[in-house]
Amino acid sequence: MTDLSTRYLGLTLKNPLVVSPSPLNEDLDNLRRMEDLGASAVVMHSLFEEQINVESNDLDRFLSHGADSFAEALSYFPDAQTYHMGPEDYLEHVRKAKQAIGIPIVGSLNGVSTGGWIRYAKMIEEAGADALELNVYYIPTDPEISSTQVEKMYIDLVRDIKATLKIPVAVKLGPYFSAMANMAKRLDEAGASALVLFNRFYQPDFDLELLEVVPNLVLSTSHELRLRLCWVAILYGCIKADLAVTGGVHTPEDVIKSMMAGARVAMMTSALLSRGLGHLATLRTGIVQWMEEHEYASIRQMQGSMSQKSVAEPAAFVRANYMRVLRSYTLKGSR
């Protein structure tokens, strides 16, 4: 019998299919269906730093400072009272979710500073979460902030929260660090039990008729998986922390590729938003079918099999493949 089990964040999961944060996870009935359809764990929708700080109105003052200089810019800023679920509601939802389903629940905090994170990280743990994911959504726009300062912010955040919790801590990263491998190593040393690659930074659009900044959510496609595969394959075997892929996971083949690169789990949201929760069952069936056809007995057998751990100089390997791609394009174009 095909063994789909994997280990992630110290937890034994029945398969590598993990649901990543989205509004879908705010509904208990959805969580029950996810479990029934084959999800092995769920990362809850994020509790935002802004939600934690909303009572002090610090966020409003920070965002609004100088905004009256350009009326068009005001549409960037949300009404701080309109967040779907406040901190206390979030904690209660985690408690109810733990009672409603049997698969692991991973809490999620989204922010940029330690502040209230430590307090609420502990409260999420006490609410019953099996692990915590730090979704650090931060784009340094101040030209006076150096890369060293940004990296220190991440490291300090992980170290401070990890020192407070007993449950494992994962860190969801963006792909824009200048030395990703070194950053991964430092986060590993700071206590991160897993790295989730990669966060998707959403860019708003401009409505030229209304002169407003408007949200522009574009769901991922399988094409986005390539960046994740590249870095998981590079990092596999270089750090102790588990690796997870998020972004671009839509097909059974996407999950298989993620495992072969070295990921422990493949996380998804866009696929479920576009195809429905029933897609979880389709993915599981497709994975089993592929493994049987290619004579793989277990997920663990394939994990890291296409990583760069056996390559003496990964950078040279990447350069060689870069040249190979360009060369193949030239040859095709010349025909």
Q: Say if residue 16 is in the same domain as residue 162.
A: yes
Inside any domain, residue 1: no
Inside any domain, residue 198: yes
Inside any domain, residue 262: yes
Q: Do 234 and 228 touch, CB atoms closer than 8 A?
A: no
Q: Say if residue 334 is in the same domain as residue 277.
A: no
Per-residue pLDDT of the chain (335 residues; tens, 9 = 90+): 899 999 999 999 999 999 999 999 999 999 999 999 999 999 999 887 666 665 444 434 443 344 444 444 444 444 444 445 678 899 999 999 999 999 999 999 986 666 667 888 999 999 999 999 998 877 788 899 999 998 998 999 999 999 999 999 999 999 999 999 999 999 999 999 999 999 887 778 888 998 988 877 788 999 999 999 999 999 999 999 999 999 999 999 999 999 999 999 999 999 999 999 999 999 999 999 999 999 999 999 999 999 987 666 666 666 666 667 666 665 555 55
Q: Do 65 and 133 touch, CB atoms closer than 8 A?
A: no
Q: Say if residue 197 is in the same domain as residue 268.
A: yes
Which residues partner with 131 through β-bridges? Answer: 106
Q: Say if residue 296 is in the same domain as residue 332.
A: no
Which of 270, 284, 280 has the alpha carbon at shortest distance from 221?
Answer: 270
Q: Say if residue 185 is in the same domain as residue 323.
A: no
pLDDT score of 113: 61
Inside any domain, residue 176: yes
**How deeply is 290 buried, as exposed, middle or buried, from its count of CB atoms within 10 A (0-12, 13-18, 19+)?**
middle
Inside any domain, residue 265: yes
Q: Could you say which DSSP state residue 240 is in?
A: S
Q: Say if residue 287 is in the same domain as residue 319.
A: no
Q: What CATH number corresponds to the domain at position 173? A: 3.20.20.70
Inside any domain, residue 224: yes
Domain coverage including residue 184 = 6-304
Q: Could you give the C-alpha distances from 105 to 40, 98, 118, 170, 177, in angstroms and in order? A: 10, 7, 19, 13, 29
Q: Could you give the C-alpha distances from 242 to 66, 83, 238, in angstroms and in order? A: 43, 32, 11
Residue 126 CA to residue 142 CA, distance in Å, equals: 36
pLDDT score of 317: 60
On the question of a cis peptide bond just before residue 206, with omega within 30 degrees of 0, the verdict is no
Which of 61, 11, 45, 53 has the alpha carbon at shortest distance from 265?
Answer: 11
Q: Say if residue 71 is in the same domain as residue 217.
A: yes
Q: Say if residue 178 is in the same domain as residue 316.
A: no
User: 């900044």: which residue's tokens?
Assistant: 213
Q: Say if residue 40 is in the same domain as residue 15.
A: yes
Inside any domain, residue 296: yes
Q: Say if residue 107 is in the same domain as residue 194.
A: yes
Domain count, the chain: 2
The DSSP-derived string for 158-178 is HHHHHHH-SS-EEEEE-S--T
Inside any domain, residue 120: yes
Q: Do 262 and 231 touch, CB atoms closer than 8 A?
A: no
Q: Say if residue 65 is in the same domain as residue 120.
A: yes
Q: Say if residue 250 is in the same domain as residue 333.
A: no
